[in-house]
Structure formats: C-alpha cells, structure tokens
Structure 1
Amino acid sequence: MDYIVILIAFLIALNIYASFRVLRSIEFENAQKLFQIIVIWLLPLIGAALILLFIKDDHTPKGPRNPNDGQGVDGMPGGVQ
C-alpha cells in the first residue's frame, strides 16, 4: 500500500515538473504546449519522460566551449596548411 502511494506521488511530481518545463519553454507555440501537457497527463510516466527528452535544457552553453573549436591545430580555419 505504501509503495503505491509513493509511486503515485512520484508520478504526480514528475508530471508537475514536466508541465512546468513545457510552460517555461520558449521554443514551442501555445498550441504545442497545450498538446504536450495533455500528453504528459494522459501518459504519466511515458509522456513526461518523452517530453522532457525533447525539451532543450535552457542552461546549455550557447557558444563553443573552447574558442578554438572548429579550427585547425594551428588555430587557423581548415587545419595545418
């Protein structure tokens, strides 16, 4: 009995978190957000997991990690000449 209550509480918390992430996302229109929230709540574990996989993390770095990324060994575009 206690395990069922814990599982239900976990699923509700996961759905609330996924819904919050969808609402905060700037990459979707309102109609898409509504559809995604419906999927989250109709398919509790699977829906939330899928939606969270597709939402970009807003905390990812926007630029290259290293200023030399994408350049050759000598720092020139295209590699060693």
Structure 2
Amino acid sequence: MVFSFTIFLIINFIVTYKLLKDEYYEKRQKTIQLFIIWLLPILGAILVYLFLNREKDKKNSYGGGIDPGYYDSGSGTSGGGD
C-alpha cells in the first residue's frame, strides 16, 4: 500500500514538473491540467503526460514551433533591389 502510494506521488510530481517547465501551454491551461493530474490518480498523470509528448512532437515536426505555412525562398532580397 505504501509502495503504490509512493509510486503515485513520484509519477504525479514528475508530470507536474514537466508541465510547469513546458512553454507551450498558457497559465490557465496548466492550471486545468494540474487539477487533472492531482484529482484523477494515475490516469490524470498519464493523460497529461501523453498530451505533453504529443505537443512536443508537433513542435519538433514543424522545426521548433515555426509556422508550417511560412516559406523562405532564400533569395535574400528585401523587395526594392536595384
């Protein structure tokens, strides 16, 4: 019993730390996710952890958060050249 409670606390603290360090979510979103982590034992932590990883994968697939619709032709001109 004590062992499972300790595991629960460790998992929740790890996910809480990851959430608080994440820069993707706004303060309101983080607050809601913290409630999910601590009010839904184990399941809440797993859900938030999966969301954190999914958003991290999205950012990485778009080059670190750069808008995928952005295109740089690489011409280096500013438009009013000679």
**Normalised by the size of structure 1, how large is the TM-score?**
0.65
State the number of aligned residues. 60
**RMSD between superposed Cα atoms in Å:** 2.2
Given candidates 15, 18, 21, the residue that maps to 1:18 is 15
Where structure 1 has 5 or more consecutive residues not aligned to the other structure, the ranges are 64-81
In 2, Cα distance between equivalents of 1:56 and 1:16 = 16
1:53-73 Cα deviation digits (max 9, x unpaired): 110376xxx47xxxxxxxxxx
In 2, Cα distance between equivalents of 1:36 and 1:44 = 13
Runs of 4+ in 1 over 3 A off after TM superposition: none
In 2, Cα distance between equivalents of 1:19 and 1:42 = 12
Instruction: Report which of the two has the higher share of helix.
Output: 2
**Identity percentage of aligned residues:** 30
Where structure 2 has 5 or more consecutive residues not aligned to the other structure, the ranges are 62-82
**Normalised by the size of structure 2, how large is the TM-score?**
0.64
SS of residue matched to 1:26: coil
